[in-house]
Chains A and B, each alone.
Chain A
Amino acid sequence: MNENLIHRLKGHVLKVLHLFALFIAMSIICIPGLWVVLNSFRPTVEIMAKPPVWIPNDLSLDHYRAMFGAAGEGGVPVLQYFTNSLIISLTSTIIAILVGMAGGYAFARFKFRGKAGIFIGIMITRAVPGVSLSLPLFIVMAKTGLIDTHLGLILVYIALNVPFTIWLIDGFFRQVPVDLAEAAEIDGCTRWQAFWKVEFPVARAGIASAGIFAFLTSWNEYALASQLTRSTFSKTMPVGLRDFTSEFTINWGGMCALAVLMIIPALILTFIVQKHLISGLTFGGVKG
């Protein structure tokens, strides 16, 4: 065998191994999610079967039907939970992004006293585990009458997300050369116009990714929401999952069906913003 052939064969073998490794890795990542989706379509007997039934033989929409059905027959106020989740997540994300943009821009562009200290201070708040805040938050919310309200959760999620959005957006504004805003000012823009017409669109990708992260954090958060909500008026979807547990049984199929409903909007949103992420990252106005 000549050397070239050996190298070519080696290349093929490596490629196969590479694909196999990727397949294993992707399986580990994806199977739990797929399992949730699969379970939402099959009867409880099959879900609980031991050994597990890998290939479903009885798919139905029963869990979905029951979930949207009357309260006595396994129904949960899905639409109400969905609306709560949407209102709380969107509002807190928008505010966190606005604050993050203002803060990130300030850290990226301006010099001021104690800048490094303030920045580290903000970041350190992220080091506190969220759950450890649940009791203090509960007390504060109870005293201010914000328990079981949208506003209460919105405030909590803004506080959770702001350090993160500031940090992420600061990084993106740092990558936007100062010259761009100066060029815009010379081209006739006010400071404000220069920001909105030039710096903001250029940093759009980073702001969008900060938005996704903030949204997903709020959308999926369970620990604090479970403490601070009481009724259908403010329960979010992750908290709503608990409606499927009763004293002695857990309705796994129903839970999975609701989980699927949670995943869908998050997927759609990520998909929409992903386009911006890619197109926005094609820099080139400045020689790099």
Chain B
Amino acid sequence: MAQVHLRNVVKKYGQLQVVHGINLEIEDNEFVVLVGPSGCGKSTTLRMIAGLEDISGGEVGIGDRVVNDLPPRSRNISMVFQNYALYPHMTVRENLGFSLKIAKRPEAEIEQAVDEAAGILSLTEYLDRKPGALSGGQRQRVAMGRAIVRHPDVFLFDEPLSNLDAKLRTQMRTEIKKLHQKVKSTIVYVTHDQVEAMTLADRIVIMRDGHIEQVGTPLEVFEKPANTFVATFIGSPPMNLLDGQVQSGKIALDGGPSVSIPEQSRGKVQDGQAVILGFRADNLMPVGHSMPMPGEHSELGMTVNLSEPLGTETLLFGTLAGKEVQAKMLHPRPVAPGERLEFQLDLTRCHLFDAKTQQSLG
């Protein structure tokens, strides 16, 4: 078991810099998820930890060793690949035992370790099959089994669920979480799926264009997004963002109504400052169909353009201050397009961002 640290890690391909000096400390036994849109450098970062990619600058450490120039085999890590990368010419048993065989461990020990891993992942009855004869979910489990037999210091997962169908993905997500509780080890997990990130992570690292935008627990990044990017990336549906200006203690939304400044941002804004008001669909609800809002709230009228009934709630789409906005309706009733409703905006759950820097003013 080990910590992982990244200090000012840089990756360049020729002139093109894709990772810009990132810093990250990962604790022992921590489950850290790197998340971001494609091309944000998350996979590259993972591959630098694995040793599959040269490190152009900075320092990567596992445990108390700096591993910058060590080959993958000397780092005591294991990795689950997006396409599983099982050895097609070997049986499941040989796939699982391959790393131990390379390490020249005694037969008996290999057998025991393989049986143990197969037991944990319920693969025992498939041990003599080749990967070609397995379903996607089973291959995925073999790939995880191959990672756990070695009891590595760190597990690396590179979008391991993206090849599975939606149902299997949810199921494997739970299995990965259970696995982490069972085998207790440090995990670095890369995904572009924010739901996976939220459900699995102890801490989420949100990346964009080779920079880390925010690091925090799933609730922290959800409740206190550091900037508009995190605000729209984490959470589904994405946070509504409306442009506005601070005017005499209120926020005048561009071409729309004014709302009070959320309490947590008061004193951090000046008159005339251009700001962005952010709120989630959960915090904009029609009067009579909302959660109780004991704190401060504003009332706004909005015409509904489209409604998406989801059963327990209905998503409402409308236009506010020139932007499309999503709201939520609890205890839904049918809503016709074009119907005008009064909405309540929960100010205690609103976020204010600086329009220039896009950073949070909360």
Contacts and interface: CB of A to CB of B under 8 A. Distances in A.
Give the top 6 A-B pairs by smallest Cβ distance, nearest first.
A284-B132, A285-B88, A179-B85, A187-B99, A285-B86, A183-B85
Contacts of A186: 50-52, 72-73, 77-79
B98 interface: yes
Interface string B12-43: 00000000000000000000000000000000
Nearest to B134: A284
Contact of A183 (B79, B139, B150): B79
Contacts of B82: 179
A224 B133 CA distance: 48
A156 interface: no
Range of interface residues on A (Cβ < 8 Å): 20 to 34
B89 to A, nearest CB: 5
Nearest to B89: A201
A283 B83 CA distance: 13
Interface stretch (A122-130, A133-141, A188-196): A188-196
Nearest to A282: B132
B130 interface: yes
A99 interface: no
B83 A177 contact: yes
Given A183-B85, A287-B84, 8 more contacts: A179-B85, A182-B50, A182-B72, A187-B78, A187-B98, A204-B89, A284-B132, A285-B88
B171 interface: no
Interface in A155-195: 177, 179-180, 182-190, 193
Contacts, number: 90
A79 interface: no
Interface in A16-67: none
Interface of B: 50-52, 71-73, 77-79, 81-89, 98-99, 102-103, 130-134, 136, 139, 146, 150, 163
A228 interface: no
Contacts of B150: 187-188
A286 B84 contact: yes
B213 to A, nearest CB: 28
Nearest to B50: A186
B85 A182 contact: yes
Contact of B85 (A189, A204, A283, A286): A286
Contacts of B73: 185-190
B87 A283 contact: no
Contacts of B81: 179, 182-183
Contact of A283 (B77, B88, B134): B88
A202 interface: yes
A287 B132 contact: no
Nearest to A189: B102
A98 interface: no
A262 interface: no
A95 interface: no
Most chain B CB inside 10 Å of its own CB: which residue of A177, A185, A285: A285
A261 interface: no
A185 B77 CA distance: 11
A285 B130 CA distance: 8
Contacts of A201: 89
A282 B130 contact: yes
B87 A190 contact: no
Given A285-B86, A285-B88, A286-B83, A185 B71 contact: yes
A286 B71 contact: no
A198 interface: yes
Interface string A244-288: 000000000000000000000000000000000000101111110
